[in-house]
Amino acid sequence: MRAPRTTPRRYLPWIGIILTAFVAVPALFAPLIAPYDPFALAGPPLASPSRSHLMGTDSLGRDLFSAVVHGARTSLLVSICVAAPAALIGATVGLTAGFAGGWVDNVLMRITEFIQIIPRFFLAIVVLAIFGDGYRNLVIVLAISSWPVIGRAVRSQTLAVRDLAYVESARMVGARVPRIIVREILPSMWSILTVMTGLLLADVILIEASLSFLGLGDPNHASWGRLASDAQQYLRHAWWLAVFPGAAIVTAVVGVNLVVNDWRPEHSDVGS
Amino acid sequence: MTRGYIFARLWQTLPMLLGVVVIGFLLVHIAPGDPILALAGENGDEAYYAAMRERYGLDQPLANQLGTYLWRLAQGDLGTSAIQKQPVSDVILDRLPNTLLLAGTALVISTLGGVLAGLWAASRVGGWRDRTVAIGTLLMYALPVFWLGQIAILWFGLRWGWFPVQGRTDARSRATGLAHVLDVAHHLALPALVLASQQIAVIARLTRATLVDALRSPHIDAARARGVSESRILVRHALPAALLPVVTVVGNRVGHLVSGAVVIEIVFGWPGIGRLLVSATNDRDIPVLLGLFLLIGFAVLIANLLTDITYKWLDPRIRIG
């Protein structure tokens, strides 16, 4: 039996970076790259992909390529707006719980476990149905319900380094708690925090797409999920409507996963 | 197995069940506008609203309302659908068996398929099988289920005509007995496989990782020294230990499975709670949505409870934390 591979495959992160760029660049420069307004009638209805419409047109004659490019912008913006506050809350809760220990840890972890167990997808559906389905509400509900994975990872990392000699010695020379947290413990968090936030980013892209697919997206913005949902009734006649928006989602999610996978410890059940 | 453990876990689960109910209740009551509109729909007349107000006790303080709500819930009363004017529990129970059939089939397929794929990958760590499974599972994990479903419809349904693409039975068929079962199975195959795919990816990765770990332990070296064949080592000596974490992940992913099922039902026109959810969303039928939220929240909590108990039963070393 051959020895298990110990060095990571170096080319995978590069594929990840290229795939991510495929989505991130159009997202940044959507108006420059998209040849048409994604909501404007730009050609004949249900035209198959051609030189003037790279990904074909939909039932109203809107350019699919332009909609996919603008969808990238929506998708990335929503996932970043969710992942950033979730990482912040998760890091704060995890650091506090891990460092304080005792009843503070106990209370915070019970809350974390509770929020983690609530079905996020269905919570989002109920919230959007009651409060309205704009992206603001979507971002709020997903950020509030997504931080526990990060919080738990940060807590266990804190527990792992809290009593190490270098932290101990900082405490011994009289460093105060905030200084110990910021200067001694936080630096050891970056890799786990980056990985978790990256995976959350990919997760949110999928969740947003599924919610839009169910009709809960913001109708004022192009969205991959809604494009896929529009495609549903034309499956027999216009394969391109289903194929391209989904391919864009896969590109984004695989890309982000490959980029962060490189740092992921073999055994973590992150993202599962 | 200690009875104490089960009681302790039950005791931990109860407040969480209550928490899910309170969240649902608060969402309706802190929403902008009159909660009666959310509970009874926007097209009732004044008399209906007045009756509903009294029924839900909306003129009472919030704490009393919560009490009333819990009391009704304990009796299995989830309220009345604002659109269909039927008890929410009836509306949901009508659709639930179809979703359970779909999700249950996918659960079986994914557990078997995932463990097999994990075994296959671990049989030669770092080899081409391992890499195939690694890339395959990454793709399966990244594919949105609705897209995989649409692609499956395009190829297996429309292009090659192997499977029907919509519904639970053939609308023209009046078959009964075995023919009916086969008809349903034929309709079920594609959506169940698609729904299983993401789950297969997660289980395969976990099985592989734990197998690789188990293969490093001393009793494996001992078996190898005795001349036990590699395949027997993998299946008889490493796999039992590796299956424990798989139990956990199967149980803990019930929420993912149900949300996947909901989306798949829309793609394949499968008449389960997914279509109910979408129509309730479009009609803003809050009682139905809330009922589904509670049902799924409870299901996830109970699945976690059962998982922990099963785990404890399989591995008596676990102590409650």
Q: Please report whether residue A40 resides in a domain.
A: no
B19·A272 Cβ contact <8 A: no
Q: Which residue has the higher pLDDT, A181 or B291?
A: B291
| Min distance A107 CA to chain B CA atoms (Å) | 13
Reference A151, options A115, A101, A202, A198; nearest CA is: A115
Residues of B in contact with A215 (CB under 8 A): 278, 281-282
Reference B204, options B250, B170, B171; nearest CA is: B250
Cβ–Cβ < 8 Å for A133, A216: yes
Looking at residue B163, its pLDDT comes to 77
Lowest mean pLDDT among A46-60, B214-228, B260-274: A46-60
This model's pTM is above 0.90 = no
Q: Please report whether residue A7 resides in a domain.
A: no
Q: Which residue in this structure is represented by tokens 């909901």?
A: B262
Each residue's pLDDT tens digit, A86-107: 999 999 999 999 888 889 999 9
Question: Which member of B32, B154, B259 has the closest CB to residue A235?
Answer: B154
Q: Please report whether residue A36 resides in a domain.
A: no
SS3 B87: strand
Q: Please report whether residue B304 resides in a domain.
A: yes
Question: Which member of A117, A213, A225 has the closest CB to residue B304?
Answer: A117
| Summary mean pLDDT of chain A | 84
Residues of B in contact with A209 (CB under 8 A): 144, 146
Rg of chain A over all Cα atoms, to the nearest angstrom: 22
- State how far the Cα of B21 lies from the Cα of B67, in Å rounded to an integer: 11
- State how far the Cα of A135 lies from the Cα of B234, in Å rounded to an integer: 49
Reply yes or no on whether the pLDDT at B42 is more than 70. no
State what percent of residues in chain B have pLDDT above 70.
Answer: 90
B277·A214 Cβ contact <8 A: yes
Each residue's pLDDT tens digit, A180-198: 888 888 888 888 888 899 9
B147·A126 Cβ contact <8 A: no
Q: Please report whether residue B292 resides in a domain.
A: yes
Number of domains observed in the structure of chain A: 1
Lowest mean pLDDT among A147-156, A170-179, B46-55: B46-55
Containing structural domain, residue B243: 89-314
Q: Categorize the per-residue pLDDT at A207 as very low, low, confident or very high, splitting at 50, 70 and 90.
A: very high
Each residue's pLDDT tens digit, B79-98: 888 777 888 889 999 889 99
Looking at residue A146, its pLDDT comes to 94
Task: Report, as an integer, the average pLDDT of A58-62.
Answer: 79
Q: Categorize the per-residue pLDDT at A144 as very low, low, confident or very high, splitting at 50, 70 and 90.
A: very high
Looking at residue A34, its pLDDT comes to 79
Contacts of A181 (CB under 8 A, 6+ apart): A95, A99
Number of domains observed in the structure of chain B: 1
Q: Please report whether residue A85 resides in a domain.
A: yes
SS3 B175: coil
Reply yes or no on whether the pLDDT at B288 is more than 60. yes
Alpha helices in chain A (DSSP H): 11-28, 30-33, 64-100, 102-117, 120-131, 135-146, 148-162, 165-172, 177-179, 190-213, 224-231, 239-261
| Min distance A68 CA to chain B CA atoms (Å) | 15
Residue B97 belongs to a domain with what CATH number? 1.10.3720.10
Looking at residue A267, its pLDDT comes to 39
Q: Please report whether residue A205 resides in a domain.
A: yes
User: How many A×B Cβ pairs under 8 Å?
Assistant: 156
**How far is CA A111 from each of CA B71, B184, B259, rounded to the nearest angstrom?**
25, 43, 23
- State how far the Cα of A46 lies from the Cα of B120, in Å rounded to an integer: 44
Residues of A in contact with B293 (CB under 8 A): 119, 122-123, 125-126
Q: Give A247's Cβ-side CA count (13 Å radius).
A: 13
Q: What is the DSSP letter of A49?
A: S
Q: Which residue has the higher pLDDT, A21 or B314?
A: A21
Cβ–Cβ < 8 Å for A135, A207: no
Residues of A in contact with B125 (CB under 8 A): 1-2, 4-5
Reply yes or no on whether the pLDDT at A225 is more than 70. yes
Q: Categorize the per-residue pLDDT at A4 as very low, low, confident or very high, splitting at 50, 70 and 90.
A: low
Reply yes or no on whether the pLDDT at A237 is more than 50. yes
Residues of B in contact with A210 (CB under 8 A): 144-146, 259, 263
Reply yes or no on whether the pLDDT at A221 is more than 80. yes
Looking at residue A211, its pLDDT comes to 92
Q: Categorize the per-residue pLDDT at B162 as very low, low, confident or very high, splitting at 50, 70 and 90.
A: confident
Q: What is the DSSP letter of B125?
A: T
Q: Mind giving me the DSSP string for B278-320?
A: HHHHHTT-HHHHHHHHHHHHHHHHHHHHHHHHHHHHH-TT---
Beta pairing partners, A41: A62
Q: Please report whether residue B2 resides in a domain.
A: no
ipTM of the complex: 0.85
Looking at residue A107, its pLDDT comes to 93
Contacts of A53 (CB under 8 A, 6+ apart): A42, A43, A47, A63, A64, A65
Sign of the four-CA dihedral A240, A246, A247, A248: positive
Task: Report, as an integer, the average pLDDT of B291-307.
Answer: 90
Q: What is the DSSP letter of A10?
A: T
Residues of A in contact with B147 (CB under 8 A): 228, 242, 245-247, 249-250
Q: Please report whether residue B16 resides in a domain.
A: no
| Summary mean pLDDT of chain B | 83
What's the token pair of residue A44?
């004949």
Q: Please report whether residue A92 resides in a domain.
A: yes
State what percent of residues in chain B have pLDDT above 90.
Answer: 15
Q: Categorize the per-residue pLDDT at A270 as very low, low, confident or very high, splitting at 50, 70 and 90.
A: very low
Q: Give B182's Cβ-side CA count (13 Å radius).
A: 7
Q: How many helices (H) and strands (E) does chain B have?
A: 14, 0
| Residue B311: Cβ within 10 Å count | 15
Reference B104, options B36, B196, B232; nearest CA is: B196
A209·B144 Cβ contact <8 A: yes
What's the token pair of residue B253?
């992913």
- State how far the Cα of A138 lies from the Cα of A132, in Å rounded to an integer: 9
Q: Categorize the per-residue pLDDT at A3 as very low, low, confident or very high, splitting at 50, 70 and 90.
A: low
Residue A214 belongs to a domain with what CATH number? 1.10.3720.10
Q: Categorize the per-residue pLDDT at B128 as very low, low, confident or very high, splitting at 50, 70 and 90.
A: confident
Test the A interface: residue of B281, B284, B304 with most A CBs within 10 Å: B281
B144·A250 Cβ contact <8 A: yes
Residues of B in contact with A249 (CB under 8 A): 142, 144, 147
- State how far the Cα of A109 lies from the Cα of A103, in Å rounded to an integer: 10
Containing structural domain, residue A174: 13-30+61-261
Reply yes or no on whether the pLDDT at A77 is more than 90. yes
